[in-house]
């Protein structure tokens, strides 16, 4: 019998963990309603070999869309409106500590951004968020770092499972950790906010909606209730778009997530790309980028464009190459 870790990566808007690490035992809440299958979409397949192993995505305040490569430490600017040539530019990223993978990216303003990281070091107590400046032709990581400790969740960092999701809204960074916790039999994703002005972490436990999924990407915006987050929950056979709100200044809260959509029906025969980035574009639509380089190249990088969550969901899609 082929073990689950050898099956093709499945997660579309829900990429789950890497490798065959064990999944924490615990149940997922029984959803009152199954997520709506999303069919309206545009797939952009990028065969350019320079773009491989993308692991995070973000939109600058100016509306420009960027994706970061996990291991090659490059930042790609992308334009989905020109699907035949979506790569606008490439910037090398310098200054990252040795042995660090860049797993997530978020703009703070038009010239400053942050990267979520992970490493193979199993003796660490947390993971770093790195700050950087965007130049015309390059990205330079500063000496300033921020450490996200796992102890408040009662968790120990795992190999190659770190800050997998990162976003920014109105002076607050939101970070999601790929390692999953269990509390009272319920699986949760560790999520924390960092107030850049007050220099303060606030920790949350976001309930996962499946028995195997983990958070792999975030995008966020402010709302009257706090910070509204959309996220990918994914695993090999799981692919969901979630939404939840993080209140300001309340430590240790358990947060419920809503399953907005199931994107797996878009893909035939379970061949769902390993999407690891999520961003809201200027028109409100969602963009997600796949990591096509895990254990070897698995085909082209894919951009998936979905309608804004408050728009009606159609039944047609198109593929652009």
CB 11, CB 272: distance < 8 Å: yes
User: Is the pLDDT confidence value at 264 over 90?
Assistant: no
The tens digit of pLDDT for each residue in 275-292 reads 899 999 999 999 999 988
23 falls in which pLDDT band (50, 70, 90)?
very low
33 falls in which pLDDT band (50, 70, 90)?
low
Average the pLDDT over 166-170 and give the result: 95
Sheet holding 101-107, edge to edge: 54-59, 65-69, 74-78, 87-94, 138-149, 126-134, 112-118, 101-107
160 falls in which pLDDT band (50, 70, 90)?
confident
Average pLDDT, the chain: 84
- The correct answer on CATH 2.60.120 for the domain covering 4-320 is no
Pairing of strands 112-118, 126-134: antiparallel
User: Is the pLDDT confidence value at 212 over 80?
Assistant: yes
- pLDDT top residue among 117 and 234: 117
- pLDDT top residue among 4 and 319: 319
The tens digit of pLDDT for each residue in 45-102 reads 999 999 999 999 999 999 999 999 999 999 999 999 999 999 999 999 999 999 999 9
What percentage of the chain carries pLDDT values higher than 90? 65
Domain ranges for the chain, please list them. Answer: 4-320
Q: What was the pLDDT predicted at 37?
A: 66
311 falls in which pLDDT band (50, 70, 90)?
low
Q: What was the pLDDT predicted at 25?
A: 53
User: Lowest mean pLDDT: which of 177-191, 246-260, 299-313?
Assistant: 299-313
Q: What was the pLDDT predicted at 157?
A: 87
Average the pLDDT over 220-244 and give the result: 90
26 falls in which pLDDT band (50, 70, 90)?
low
User: Is the pLDDT confidence value at 148 over 90?
Assistant: yes
Q: What was the pLDDT predicted at 309?
A: 73
User: Is the pLDDT confidence value at 163 over 80?
Assistant: yes
């Amino acid at each position: 019998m082929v073990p689950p870790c050898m099956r093709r990566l499945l997660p579309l808007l829900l990429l789950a963990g890497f490798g065959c690490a064990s999944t924490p035992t615990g149940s997922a809440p029984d959803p009152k309603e199954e997520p709506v299958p999303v069919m309206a979409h545009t797939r952009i397949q990028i065969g350019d070999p320079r773009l491989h192993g993308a692991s995070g995505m973000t939109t600058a305040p100016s509306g420009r869309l960027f994706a970061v490569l996990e291991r090659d430490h490059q930042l790609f600017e992308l334009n989905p409106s020109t699907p035949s040539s979506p790569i606008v530019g490439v910037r090398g990223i310098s200054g990252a500590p040795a042995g660090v993978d860049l797993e997530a990216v978020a703009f703070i303003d038009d010239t400053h951004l942050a990267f979520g990281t992970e490493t193979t070091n199993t003796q660490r107590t947390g993971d770093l968020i790195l700050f950087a400046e965007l130049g015309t032709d390059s990205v330079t990581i500063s000496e300033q770092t921020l450490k996200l400790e796992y102890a408040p969740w009662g968790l120990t960092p795992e190999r190659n499972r770190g800050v997998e999701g990162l976003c920014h809204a109105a002076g607050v960074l939101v970070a999601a950790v790929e390692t999953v916790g269990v509390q009272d039999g319920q699986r949760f994703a560790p999520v924390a906010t960092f107030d850049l002005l007050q220099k303060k972490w606030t920790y949350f436990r976001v309930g996962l909606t499946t028995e195997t999924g983990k958070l792999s990407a975030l995008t966020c915006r402010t709302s009257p209730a706090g910070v509204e987050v959309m996220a990918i929950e994914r695993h090999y056979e799981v692919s969901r778009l979630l939404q939840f709100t993080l209140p300001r200044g309340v430590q240790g809260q358990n947060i419920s997530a809503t399953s907005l959509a199931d994107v797996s029906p878009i893909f035939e025969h379970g061949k769902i790309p390993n999407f690891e980035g999520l961003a809201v574009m200027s028109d409100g639509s969602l963009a997600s980028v796949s990591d096509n380089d895990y254990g070897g190249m698995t085909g082209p990088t894919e951009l998936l464009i979905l309608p804004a969550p408050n728009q009606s969901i159609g039944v047609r899609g198109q593929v652009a190459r």
